[in-house]
Structure 1
Amino acid sequence: MIEYILISSFIIVASILGYALRFLTKSGSVSAVFVGLLICFGLGLKGLILLGIFFVSSSLWSVYKRKEKMVVEEKHAKGSRRDYQQVLANGGMAALLSVLYGFFQTNHLLLAFCVFIATSNSDTWASEIGTLSKRRPYSVRTFSVVERGTSGAVSLLGTMAAVAGAILIAYSSYVLFNLQISEFWVIFLFGFLGNVIDTFLGAYLQALYRCSRCGVETEKIIHCQRRTALIRGRKFLNNDVVNFISGIAPAIAILLMY
Structure 2
Amino acid sequence: MVAHTVAGYRFAGMLLVFFFTASRATRVGEVRKRALDPEFKEGGQRNWKQVLSNSGIASILVVLIALVTGGSDRCLDMKESSLVTALIGGVIGHYACCNGDTWSSELGILSKAEPRIITTFKKVRKGTNGGVTIDGLLAAAAAGFSIGLTFVLLGFLTTQCSSNVFRRQLLVIPLATAAGLCGSLIDSMLGATLQYSGYCSVRKK
Q: Normalising TM by the smaller chain, what interval?
A: 0.7 to 0.9
Pair 1:172–1:145, CA change in 2 (3 A):
same
1:144-166 deviations in Å (ceiling 9; x for gaps): 11111222111111111111111
**Structure with greater strand share of residues:** 1
Asked if 1:115 corresponds to 2:104, the answer is no
Match of 2:108 in 1: 130
**Number of aligned residue pairs:** 179
Give, in angstroms, the shift of residue 78 of structure 1.
5.9
Check if 1:202 corresponds to 2:191. yes
Structure number with greater CO (CA < 8 Å, separation at least 6) is 2
Distance in 2 (CA, whole Å) between partners of 1:110 and 1:46 is 10
Task: Give the TM-score taking structure 2 as reference length.
Answer: 0.78
Kept after mapping to 1: 8 A contact 2:10/2:150: no
2:131 match = 153
The percentage of counterpart residues that share the same residue type is: 28
Match of 1:208, SS state, is coil
Q: Kindly provide the amino acid, as one letter, of the partner of residue 176 in structure 2.
A: I
AA aligned opposite 1:100: L
Matching residue's letter, 1:40: T
Residue equivalent to 2:3: 38
Equivalent of 2:54, from 80, 86, 90? 90
Aligned to 2:122: 144
Q: Give the structure 2 partner of residue 175 of structure 1.
A: 153
Backbone CA RMSD of aligned residues: 2.3
**Tell me, which stretches of 5 or more residues in structure 2 are unaligned?**
70-83, 157-165
- In the alignment, structure 1 segments of 5+ residues that lack a partner are 1-35, 218-258
Contact 2:137 2:184 in 1 (8 A): no
Deviation at residue 199 of structure 1 after TM alignment: 1.3
Q: Which residue of structure 2 aligns with residue 188 of structure 1?
A: 177
CA distance in 1 between partners of 2:202 and 2:173 (Å): 47
Partner SS state of residue 143, structure 2: helix
Runs of 4+ in 1 over 3 A off after TM superposition: 76-80, 209-217
Answer yes or no: is the 8 Å Cα contact 1:129–1:158 preserved in 2: yes
Q: Tell me the CA shift for residue 123 of structure 1.
A: 0.8
Shift of the 40–142 alpha-carbon distance from structure 1 to 2, 3 Å rule, reads same
Within 1, Cα distance between the matches of 2:184 and 2:138? 12
Q: TM-score, normalized by length of structure 1?
A: 0.63
